[in-house]
Structure 1
């Protein structure tokens, strides 16, 4: 990670779980991390926890599902940290509902807007910054899901709703962006698709808790190390898609 020392990385959904682990890990490796999330108090706590690591942690309130909130956050980033080298689109949400349930359109929209549109909003804004920067390598890493590859119903209690649809869409969007940027070899587009990771998103799906508690799972640090792998393998390599599962996962 020596070549990334003091380089700037933006991590969305940084207030807990995978995003917080990625922020901690990259700061320990000497990067300057800008954490974006809705819960400012959580960001403040994370900032105190990271403290004076080799790198530095800064944060800004941002709801990635809201285009104006994203524009405001990245305008602040452009003004204060104009040499962004890495964006990790990690913000995600799942809600215990079904596609065919009545009067739940707002819930379904929130899943799509956070998991898919939020990543697109952030990528479009960071691209404006990156293409004007002086760096010679830029990485956009999308945290996806095994459900972006394979739709399954693990138990009758697990209601998938539009979460897999958003994750399939994010995987497709990653590939489309890679094709759009073929002419600029500075850009690397990657998708990481974990199996089960026990994070707060599980708490948003209470019907699935019993099933999930009995299944093998990954740690959030496993995903942070995967991000590091993508950043360090070599600038001539593009890791387009990684599936990472816990040993024993049946999916």
Structure 2
């Protein structure tokens, strides 16, 4: 893939998992990356690894559920690096008490805030910058659960990810005239740290059969670096050994 020197990407949830993989993949293609998340030590490790491989990464610690923090990072990136070409809207979380029997109002706020409100905060922060450029790509880490709601992920998480899909569609409808493209990527089970919050422990054997962070990192890079006249609206991706399909088969 051709080098993309001069482009700038802001990656949220960049300290581990899909965000880290996306940041590494983009940096390997010459994109300058801005890494956001709540854990400065984890972000710095990713930045150091990117620098060691010859890439450029900047750490901007932020909790993206805080709209003021989101605006601060967007403004810093614009003022320091001059542009934002790519937003990887990846930050998200889930809780163990996710069934309706256990769900609380606080839990609802936590899940919706981390997975949907935060995504909107980041979008609204970068859109003015991208409109001024007449160009930009927004990539959102959705979920298989947004397309196929499941008690495994829980109602709040599934609803938030479905809301992200609606957000992305309407971004394309409204912002296509400004040269802005939006893509929601909906992965099925992926071997990332969020699995540790599952009520039922996921075995190492099952994790090995899942999608891996680098699978998504490579996909995000591909979408981000498509020609400006191409919009990849939505991608649904799963492991070949899909435990969601197995669950259906086991019931038959």
Output the TM-score relative to the length of structure 1. Answer: 0.90
> Which ranges of structure 2 fall in alignment gaps of 5 or more residues?
246-252
The structure with the largest helix share of the pair is 2
2:177 is paired with a residue whose SS is coil
Q: Is residue 38–residue 63 contact of structure 1 (8 Å, CA) maintained in 2?
A: yes
- TM-score, normalised via structure 2 length: 0.89
Greater Cα shift, 3-12 or 38-47: 3-12
1:59 maps to which residue? Answer: 59
Give yes or no for contact 2:145–2:153 (8 Å, CA) kept in 1: no
Match of 1:137 among 117, 120, 135: 135
Q: How many Å separate the matches in 2 of 1:197 and 1:75?
A: 32
> Partners of 1:168 and 1:38 in 2: how far apart?
25
Please say if residues 27 and 33 of structure 1, whose CA atoms lie closer than 8 Å, have aligned partners that are also in contact: yes
Structure 1 pair 81–231 and aligned structure 2 pair: CA distance change class (3 A): same
Alignment of 1:187 onto 2:180: yes
**Contact 1:96–1:159 at 8 Å: present in 2 too?**
no
In structure 1, the residue corresponding to 2:6 is in which secondary structure? Answer: coil
The aligned residue for residue 247 of structure 1 is 240
- Cα separation, 2, equivalents of 1:180 and 1:233: 20
User: Is the deviation greater in 116-125 or in 215-224?
Assistant: 215-224
SS of the residue aligned with 1:188? Answer: strand
Distance 1:45 1:175, change over 3 A: same
In structure 1, the residue matched to 2:19 is 19
Number of corresponding residues? 244
Task: Tell me how far 1:19 sits from its aligned partner.
Answer: 0.3
Kept in 1: contact 2:3–2:29 (CA 8 A)? no
Report the CA distance between 1:235 and its aligned residue: 2.2
Task: After superposing the two structures, state which structure 1 stretch, 115-124 or 241-250, moved more.
Answer: 241-250
For the structure 1 residues 130 and 137, does the alpha-carbon distance in structure 2 shift closer, same or farther, using more than 3 Å as the test?
Answer: closer
Q: Which residue of the other structure, out of 197, 203, 212, is the alignment partner of 1:204?
A: 197
Question: Within 2, Cα distance between the matches of 1:64 and 1:34?
Answer: 14
Give the 5 Å matches for 1:40-59.
40-59=40-59
